[in-house]
Structure 1
């Protein structure tokens, strides 16, 4: 199957030129995309986009992939829904200018075409390729003189919260919501109305729009709450037993299998046996990796600080300190520590064929398994060290750590061997007789000192923090904080889609737009670019 190529005109018509002039003052990215669309979507990249399509010839003839990719960028820039994007392509002269269809009465694509193309783009990871293309565009346009830039890059990493789009529910609502989805699935398989099915099975609670209103109890009464929970569970068990008896073969295949597995997952994470009243009770504490939404399976509880919590995801970006271009993006569940996302980000930067000179990040990333390997390969890690405090007693910084001889010496002069990742213990007799003991410890068993696995790196970072030049280097990572704010401004702080991968696509698209604006700014202000 031969796909049509997107070939917008190189020379603008008089009307296009007038619109191009107007967008040069406000919403400037429309003009930039019009000027550089054939550089961003050159023949080689259009050929890569065509590889996403099957060659059987079946189905409708697709639109030019590059045109749809540009439409997705315009959609992100205009913060439009799919249906709005179709209307804008038909009515907004700025959209038509960029898409090369100025004056067309009908939109150049349908809502279904845009949706299907986005799904295909995500499935083939071409959103990441589009982000890579922005760096290539920066080279082509001469926004940065890459020959004068260091061969090895100084990059910074940071993350920000992204609230999930799925509804967050408590245990009662999660169970009722998941059970209702089982009912809907069964009703579809049996071709019967769901409301009639719940009446026949005697499980009316599951059809109620508000489970707590239907239960109608004093929620401050533990006994009433326990009885209500077990009443709900009883009706869920009735449903499951009926399914097992009447739909045993269907229950082992999607979609019914998936809905039953979801119900079991929620019970396992939120419930435990009640030793006092019998039956089940809501589990004390929060289960690890607890699912918080029925509709979005990837959303999780997370914290940005000790006092600020959120439900959803964390978006991470890697930014070049030389150019301020975003090199890589990833999205992770909100409960995943920053350190677990660093290997993915580093791999994606290295996949671009780039080498790192230094890596700037905050303390959340320093425990990553990739950090020792990066340091061993010559990458300089720039990060604030962990705070060392011990009340009014001597802190770890008051001790002398010798990593060559693997010994630690206390302020009183006692020396003991130390091993990374373990605790060093000073002799009790020496400590108890030391005149500095009141300033050191209250224990009669001698002072203990925890030696971190990355203690040599922490020691270097403490030295870095004490020097003015070192503190200046620590402040360089402010670039990534500003860039991440621009991504958040472009994408928003609430997820557009359900699911981690789709929201990573949305974050990557926002990063593409931020990079394009960086390139545009550098081209408009070459003196600033040269000064940098």
Structure 2
């Protein structure tokens, strides 16, 4: 059996990963057995030299110092391939390290067949992932999958297009941090403070809690320690006061004994988290007796102690979630994901578009058609596409006015900048302003009861948006079968999102926005590779 070349480890110039291109006998047998299941392993083995070519490996090597100082570096090309395998298999760092010893498929892709020791350590994998994120090379990894796929003949003449049809969509992602109610949030944040204090003082958490006057933290559960009937409002209120009294005792003790440490990391961060939660979740009790849980949700409310970037979000009016929104931009004709972004769940879709636009600009993407959800209408990318002469396609905002005439019942003429009511009265309008029809016309109008509930002396008003021209065009599209067919083309990006959701699951793998951007870019890279693989199979079937 011929063994693959071991990945080079160097201390000077960063070496390249150069495993053999030709399959040896063992690899041929493995590839043949993966004709149905695990086909991407075989695909990566056969095409790894295209993905991790000399130019891209040079980019990866640029993340390292070239002085020869520091730890021994494993060839970054191999580590980047391992990162992709981890995302494809959905395994932990520790499991992936073991799979480099026991899984023939992983060994084959990494050029590690026949070795009895791991290809890298768990620490090396963690450090490489951090390095990727610091240097934005996870973005380049995604871009590389797009570049390589476009170069293949399987994509035909589509790769020659300079103007693309791009679709953008979002989906919810439940955060990895634990979501808790006010009592548990305050207790959890206080516990983090005291764990840090115990470490600083070199004593046990039990001793630190007793000295600080917060024995409630010694219980396994804050609510167990408070021991009240939580269904009874009065007892619940007393329990909150008892907890807050001990928290205040703890803070007073800290200010007296660890004043300097409170101004430095890591203690400062934990104290700030506790203060943030108290400020956002509590308010003065109007009936006296201290404070109460805030009756209305605070803006930018923190929902998790462990992940400070998670937020409340809504899928719809009735369905809520806690975490983030994932955004992807897809080239519809090529079925390739071009860019990704992650935002806290409470942020509007439009806030994701600057990051998406910036990443696509780096690839030289010019958008001919932009297919979006209504949530992206008021975004910078829409303005950019329209300024460049492109077209924006989206469902228009729905005009609702109860049982009265809606805005859609009025005739809007964008050329003459006029709006005509159902009774035939016409008014001129300006973009971004509200039109009020003449009082004398509305008061004597036979359709008044169907049109407005305005007081006597006032006419019907209609708001004209800044993007009324775009909305007017979209409403016209919705009225024709051909227009509705064009609007349905956005389903391509929804399919990409569905594939990613099946791979990642509904819950985030990591905490925080940046790490989840990394995970989304990795999942998108894998999806692009599978798209390339599918096009290759279709091409081979047509030839056959």
TM-score scaled by length of structure 1: 0.96
Matched, 1:52 2:92: no
Deviations 1:78-113 (A, max 9, x none): 111111101111111111111001111111111111
Matched, 1:408 2:395: no
Give the corresponding residue for 1:288. Answer: 299
Query: How far apart in 1 are the matches of 2:542 and 2:446?
Result: 60
What is the aligned counterpart of 2:402 among 391, 398, 404?
391
1:223: how far off?
2.6
Deviates more, 1:52-61 or 1:322-331: 52-61
Q: Classify the secondary structure of the residue corresponding to 1:401.
A: strand
What is the aligned counterpart of 1:482 among 470, 489, 495?
495
Deviates more, 1:212-221 or 1:175-184: 212-221
Residues 470 and 529 of structure 1, relative CA distance in 2, 3 Å threshold: farther
1:528: how far off?
8.6
Query: How far apart in 1 are the matches of 2:240 and 2:158?
Result: 67
| Matched-pair contact (CA < 8 Å) for 1:149–1:322 | no
What is the aligned counterpart of 2:141 among 111, 118, 130?
130
Give the corresponding residue for 1:96. Answer: 107
Matched, 1:298 2:330: no
Query: How far apart in 2 are the matches of 1:490 and 1:429?
Result: 63
Deviates more, 1:216-225 or 1:465-474: 216-225
Residues 117 and 527 of structure 1, relative CA distance in 2, 3 Å threshold: closer
Q: Classify the secondary structure of the residue corresponding to 1:523.
A: helix
| Matched-pair contact (CA < 8 Å) for 1:156–1:320 | yes
Give the corresponding residue for 1:357. Answer: 368
Number of aligned positions between the proteins: 530
Residues 528 and 508 of structure 1, relative CA distance in 2, 3 Å threshold: farther
Residues 15 and 315 of structure 1, relative CA distance in 2, 3 Å threshold: same
Give the corresponding residue for 1:200. Answer: 211
Q: Classify the secondary structure of the residue corresponding to 2:462.
A: strand
Q: Classify the secondary structure of the residue corresponding to 2:155.
A: coil
Deviations 1:402-446 (A, max 9, x none): 334433221223222322222211122211112222322233322
Q: Classify the secondary structure of the residue corresponding to 1:145.
A: helix
Give the corresponding residue for 1:247. Answer: 258
Give the corresponding residue for 1:492. Answer: 505
Give the corresponding residue for 1:509. Answer: 522
1:235: how far off?
1.0
1:56: how far off?
4.3
1:374: how far off?
2.5
Residues 69 and 527 of structure 1, relative CA distance in 2, 3 Å threshold: closer
Query: How far apart in 1 are the matches of 2:151 and 2:349?
Result: 34
Give the corresponding residue for 1:459. Answer: 472
Residues 463 and 26 of structure 1, relative CA distance in 2, 3 Å threshold: same
Task: Kindly report which structure 2 residues correspond to 1:4-403, keeping only aligned pairs within 5 A, or say none.
Answer: 4-146=15-157, 149-403=160-414
| Matched-pair contact (CA < 8 Å) for 2:173–2:325 | yes
Deviates more, 1:48-57 or 1:487-496: 48-57
Deviates more, 1:66-75 or 1:428-437: 428-437
| Matched-pair contact (CA < 8 Å) for 1:431–1:446 | yes
Q: Classify the secondary structure of the residue corresponding to 1:328.
A: strand
TM-score scaled by length of structure 2: 0.94
1:59: how far off?
3.2
Structure 1 vs Structure 2 CA RMSD = 1.7
Query: How far apart in 2 are the matches of 1:420 and 1:213?
Result: 59
| Matched-pair contact (CA < 8 Å) for 1:139–1:146 | no
Query: How far apart in 2 are the matches of 1:516 and 1:23?
Result: 16
Query: How far apart in 1 are the matches of 2:285 and 2:262?
Result: 29
Query: How far apart in 1 are the matches of 2:88 and 2:505?
Result: 11
| Matched-pair contact (CA < 8 Å) for 1:522–1:528 | no
Give the corresponding residue for 2:4. Answer: none
Q: Classify the secondary structure of the residue corresponding to 1:378.
A: coil
Q: Classify the secondary structure of the residue corresponding to 2:154.
A: coil
Structure 2 regions of 5+ residues with no counterpart?
1-11
Residues 529 and 268 of structure 1, relative CA distance in 2, 3 Å threshold: farther
Deviates more, 1:507-516 or 1:387-396: 387-396
Give the corresponding residue for 1:439. Answer: 450
1:200: how far off?
2.3
